[in-house]
Structures are given as C-alpha cells and as structure tokens.
Amino acid sequence: MSRTVTVGLDGSPESRAAAEWAAREALLRSLPLKIVHVGEPVPEYTAWAALHGPETYQHWVEQILRESAEGLQVRHPGLEVTSEQFTGTVADILCEAAGFAELLVLGSRGFGGIGGFMVGSVSLSVVAHAERPVVLVRAEELAADEHEMDPSGVPSAAAPFRPVVLGLDIDAPDDTLMEFAFDAATRREASLRVVHAWPEPPTSFYRFPGDAELYDSLERQQAAALAEALRPWRQKFPGVEVIEASRCGSAAQILVNASRDASLAVVGRRIRTSSLGAHIGHVTHAALHHITAPVAVVAHV
C-alpha cells in the first residue's frame, strides 16, 4: 500500500491550516494527501442530531471533505487528494490512520495565554501513542511563515525556506529522528540547525576556583560529542548545511529559543511499552506548547 501524508480535518481553522501545510508537505514528498474526518459515536452528537438531524450532520461532513479536497487540488496543482470518514474515538482512529501514513498532520488551536500553542487532549494523546511522525500546525500558520523575507523585506513563499531545527540528545541519537530531520532539510533546500543542551556543572552554583576552566572543558567536550554524532549524517547528506548549536542550560528553553525562526522544528519521542499515561518528555512537551513553527514529533525506540 502506498503511503500518504494524512491530515485530520474537522472544519476548524486549525485543521484547515493543518490541511494546507499537509498539502505542501505532500508535494515536497511526492506523495498523495489523505484527509480524514472522525466523528464520535452517539451520544456525543446527540445535541447536534436533536437540533439539525443526523442526515444534516452527514451532509455537512461530506460537504467539508469534498470542498476541502477540491480547494486543495486547485491551490496545489498536481496534488492527489483522497478523503475518508470514520466513526469512533478520535485519538484512537487518528493513531490507527497514522500507522498507514508517512506522517500525520494535526491542527493546534493557536496561541495560549503564555504565548504558545493550546494543545488539546486529542493531539497530545495522538502524539503520545502514534508510532509514525506527527506534525502539529498552529491555526495562524501561513506558507510564507516558513520562508525568509524576499529582497523587499516581505514574507514570501517564493523565498528560500527558513532553517529546520532539530532538538538532539547526543547520549542517544536515534537514526529515525536524524533521518527525518536531514530529509526535511534536504526537501526544503534549507539549513539544518541541530540543537544540543547540556547542564550547568555542579560547582558553577558555588563559584569555586577553576570553574571557568571546567566550563570551557565541558563546552569543548560537548561540542566535540555533537560533531561526532553528526559526522555520519553529514556524509550521508552532503548537500545539507548543518549548523551545530551546543548550549549550556535548560534543554527546553534552548530549543524553543533556537526555533523562533524555524520553518519546522523536529523533536523525538521514545516509544514506551506501557499503555498508561501520555509518554511525552518535558522537552517535547515544551516544544509542542511554545514553538510557533510546525513541530514534528518523531517516535523512536
């Protein structure tokens, strides 16, 4: 079965923005786009049915899918678009759909009170359990946001892409995560900024003699370790400009700051065997809530 870029659509502004992003990504990957709508079973739609009738709801769903597919094909010539309806628990159905996709794209409800995404429980559940890459796109996302300014200083989708940013744990650099990030940069003809954070040395809080020398030594060691982790990937993707950023401090804050001008931020999520809880690390959780660019969460072992 041929893989697709799959997007969840419910008619909301965030899901429409996600569909536009997914269409652009499908063209970058030369893949078809699949639009998925999931309806919760009764009694979730009892209020709708009482006011409008189940036939009206079904007609609305069919209209949303049809008009979205037709609009995407008009705006993105050459894109193959299909759609499908499902009934069931939204997170479960989307996780299942992700298993047949190259990646799954979901919308996020824009900015919250602290300047980041308001990531809903469905999106968090899908990110926590899907074993294929999941991309979250904010409601305000536009194609031009992913690109540099044009010569006149105006955002333009015709200008080069902004950098792809990868948050990397060099203690366990996973091949799936690295492949995704380097491939994304290659398809965009963009640079890849690889961000690695390391903690403050314990003595820095007490200002012992020799702290500066210790810090400098740790800085060199961490930078060398990052360079070594990236060496085989530089060789595999020689056309990608790699910008190494090894910083001391909070991994979450450093990644968020480094992604302010990103076209795409890429983070990892380790697959756990337990079915309980949302297994999202604190760095990935911060990225989902505070990075304004689309965020790709890549599951790996």
- How far apart CA 297 and CA 59 sit, in angstroms, is 34
Can you read off the two tokens belonging to residue 184?
A: 């994304």
pLDDT band of 203, cuts 50, 70, 90: low
Percentage of residues of the chain with pLDDT beyond 70 = 86
Summarised one tens digit per residue, pLDDT across range 11-31 is: 899 999 999 999 999 999 999
Higher pLDDT, 275 or 55: 55
> Among candidates 122, 137, 129, 79, which has minimal Cα distance to 99?
129
Per-position DSSP letters for the chain, written without gaps between them: ---EEEEE--SSHHHHHHHHHHHHHHHHHT--EEEEEEEPPTTTTHHHHHHH-HHHHHHHHHHHHHHHHHHHHHHSTT--EEEEEEES-HHHHHHHHHTTEEEEEEEE--B-TTSSB---HHHHHHHHH-SS-EEEEETT--GGGGB-B-TTS-B-TTSPBPPEEEE--TTS--HHHHHHHHHHHHHHT--EEEEEEEPPPGGGGTT-TTHHHHHHHHHHHHHHHHHHHHHHHHHH-TTS-EEEEEEES-HHHHHHHHTTT-SEEEEEEE--S--SS----HHHHHHHHH--S-EEEEEE-
Residue 134, pLDDT score: 97
pLDDT at 172: 83
φ, ψ for residue 157 (rounded to 5)? -70, -10
pLDDT of residue 201: 73
Mean pLDDT, the chain, integer: 88
The pLDDT, as a whole number, for residue 58 is 80
Residue 48: what pLDDT? 52
What is the pLDDT at residue 117? 47
Q: Are the C-beta atoms of 118 and 111 separated by less than 8 Å?
A: yes
Asked whether the predicted pLDDT for residue 118 surpasses 70, the reply is: no
Which residues have a Cβ under 8 Å from the Cβ of 173 and sit 6 or more positions away? 229
Q: Is the pLDDT of residue 37 over 50?
A: yes
Q: What is the pLDDT of residues 212-248, one digit of tens each?
A: 788 888 999 999 999 999 999 999 999 999 999 999 9
pLDDT at 104: 98
Residue type, 287: A
Beta partners for 247? Answer: 197
pLDDT classification of 135: cutoffs 50, 70, 90: very high
pLDDT at 212: 76
Q: What is the reported pLDDT for 113?
A: 42
Q: Over range 84-108, report the average pLDDT.
A: 94
* Whether residue 278 has pLDDT greater than 70: no
